[in-house]
Structure 1
Amino acid sequence: MRPVIEIEACREGHVRLLNSVAALTEGELRAASLLPGYSRAHVIAHIANKAWAHVVLLGGAAAGEVRRLHPEGYDSDEAAREGACRPGDELRSELERSLAALEAAWDHLDEGRWDVRGVMMAGSRTMAEIVGHHLRNVEVHHVDLDVGYRPADWPRTFVDGELARRLRALPDRAEHPELLAWLLGRGPCPALAPW
C-alpha cells in the first residue's frame, strides 16, 4: 500500500532541506558537517546519490523487477567525494533534480507495486519501506549539515516511525543483560553496534 503519510513527510522534508541548502554560500558548502570527514557538500551529494538510487529501485518495482540499491562494487564514500567537488550551484541543482525525480517515481508507482522488494545494503525491503528509509536519510542528514536544523525539529511522523524501528532493532545492537540493566536504570548505556 502506498505510504501516503511518509511520502508527505518526505515532501515536506525536501522543502526544508532545499531551503537550507539554498542559503549556503560556496564557502559554507565546503565547511565541515557533523559527519566526520564529510563536508556539507559531501552530505548533499550523498543525499542526492541515495535519492537517485531509490529512483532506480522504484523503476524496477514499476517494471516488476527486483533491483539492487547500488551496483556491485559501488563505493558511496567515493561517490560523495566526487559529487562534493561540483560547484555549489551544480550541487544544489543535482539535489533538487534527484528529489524531484524521486517524488515523480512515487507518484507514478501503481498501487499494487508498493510491496515489490528492492535489495538495500541491509537486505530486501518493500518500496513502502524504502520511503521510510529515504525519510530517515533526509531528516538525519539535514541535522548533519549543521545549519540550525536539530532533532527537535524532526516531524512527528519521522520520530514515531523511526523510534519504533530503532527500538525493535535495539536487542540486536547490544548485549542483552547490559541493555536491560540500562533500561531498568541499573547500569550505563551500553555501547551500540552501528545501525
Structure 2
Amino acid sequence: MPPLHAVAQGHRRLREALAALTDDQVTAPSLLPGWSRGHVLAHLTDNARAFARVSELALRGELVDAYEGGQAERDAIIAGLAPSSADEHRSAIARHSAALEAVWSQATTDDWARPVRFRNGDLGGLVHMRWREVWIHLVDLDLGIGPQEWSNEFSCHAVDFLLPRLPEGVVLRQADGPRRWTTGDADGRPEISGRARDLAAWLAGRTPERSPLGPLPDLGPWPAHPAPIPDDERRTNG
C-alpha cells in the first residue's frame, strides 16, 4: 500500500506553511536557483493536477501523458501560474491537492499496480513521487521548514530513490536507525554516516541540518526515468 497518509500529511503541512504567505513572499526567490516561491508553488499545484488526471484515467484503464505538450507545456504552465497572488496560490494548492487525494481514495489494493506513462511506472509509484515532490519542495520554499521535519519513513525512502546518484563502492550507514545502503562492491570502503534525514537531504542536493560524516563524493544526476514500455505490452502485463 503506497503512503497515502504521508502524502496527505505533507499536503496539510504545505497548507499550514502557506497560511500567512504574503504577495511579496510569493515573488521572492526560493532555494531553487532561478525560481521564485511562486514557481515552486505553481509546480506543486500543477503536479497535483497532472497526477490527478493521469490517475483518474489509469483507474479507467487509459494511458495518457502527464503533459501532452511535454516539458515545454509543463514549463509554460509553471511560468504562467507563478505570478499568482498568495491567496490564489493557497486556493489552487488546496483545491488540486484535495482533488488528487479524492482520486486516489477510489483505488483498490489491486489498482496500485495499474500502469502509467509517467516515469513509466504504476499508480502506486505516482503516490511515492508526490510524496517526494511535496516534502522536498517544502524545503525549497524557504518558509522555515527544513529536512529536520522529514520523517524516518520518508528519509529512508528518499535515500532508496536517490542512491543511484552515488558512484560505485559507497557505503551509507544510518546513525539513528538500522539501515545501511551500498552501491556496488563496497567491501572495506569507508562509510558515510548520518541521520536518515541528513543523508536524504544531502543526496537530494539540499542542506542537511548536520552534514554526514565521511568522504562525501560528488553526486551524479537525479535518477533517470526508466526506459519506456510500449502501451500494448503494458496492457498485457497489467
1:1-195 matched pairs, under 5 angstroms: 2-3=1-2, 6-75=3-72, 76-120=74-118, 123-167=119-163, 169-170=164-165, 174=167, 176=168, 184=190, 189-195=217-223
2:21 partner amino acid: L
* Aligned mates of 1:67, 1:83 — CA distance in 2: 23
Shifted more, 104-113 versus 123-132: the winner is 104-113
Measured against aligned partners, the alpha-carbon deviations of 1:172-195 in whole angstroms (never above 9, x if no partner) come to x64x369869x6369651341234
The structure, 1 or 2, with the larger RCO (C-alpha pairs under 8 Å, 6+ apart) is: 1
TM-score, normalised by the number of residues in structure 2: 0.71
Query: Structure 1 residue 61: deviation in Å?
Result: 1.5
Describe the shift of the 1:74–1:25 C-alpha distance in structure 2 as closer, same or farther (beyond 3 A).
Answer: same
Distance of 1:151 and 1:85 partners within structure 2? 27
Q: CA RMSD in A?
A: 2.1
Residues 72-81 or 85-94, more deviating: 72-81
Q: Percent identity?
A: 30
Cα offset for 1:152?
1.2
State the Cα distance separating 1:81 from its structure 2 match. Answer: 1.2
Seen in structure 2, the aligned counterparts of structure 1 residues 20 and 65 have a Cα distance that, compared at 3 Å, is same
User: What are the ranges of 5 or more consecutive residues in structure 1 without an aligned counterpart?
Assistant: none
Partner Cα separation in structure 1 for residue 6 and residue 169 of structure 2: 36
Residues 40 and 141 of structure 2 are in contact (CA less than 8 Å); yes or no, is this contact kept in structure 1? yes
* Length-normalised TM-score, structure 1: 0.86
For each residue in 1:6-58, what CA deviation from the matched residue of structure 2 results, as whole angstroms up to 9, or x when unmatched?
11011111111111012211111111000011111110010010011110111
Seen in structure 2, the aligned counterparts of structure 1 residues 72 and 108 have a Cα distance that, compared at 3 Å, is: same
Q: Is the 8 A contact 1:45 1:84 kept in 2?
A: yes
Structure ranking higher in helix proportion = 1
In 2, the alpha carbon distance for the partners of 1:54 and 1:37 equals 25
User: How far, CA to CA, are the matches of 1:19 and 1:187 in structure 2?
Assistant: 37
Question: Does the Cα contact within 8 Å between 1:9 and 1:157 map onto a contact in 2?
Answer: no
Q: Residue type of the partner of 2:82?
A: A
Q: Secondary structure at the match of 1:108?
A: coil
Bigger radius of gyration among the two: 2
Is contact 2:26–2:85 with CA below 8 Å preserved after alignment?
no
What letter is aligned with 2:106?
A: H
Where does the alignment leave 5 or more consecutive residues of structure 2 unmatched?
171-182, 192-213, 224-238
Q: Provide the secondary structure at the position in 1 that maps to 2:87.
A: helix
CA contact (8 A) 2:51 2:126 kept: yes
Deviating 4+ runs (over 3 angstroms)? 176-181, 185-188
Taking a change above 3 Å as real, the CA distance of residues 31 and 112 of structure 1, as seen in their structure-2 partners, is: same
Q: Distance in 1 between matches of 2:5 and 2:215?
A: 40
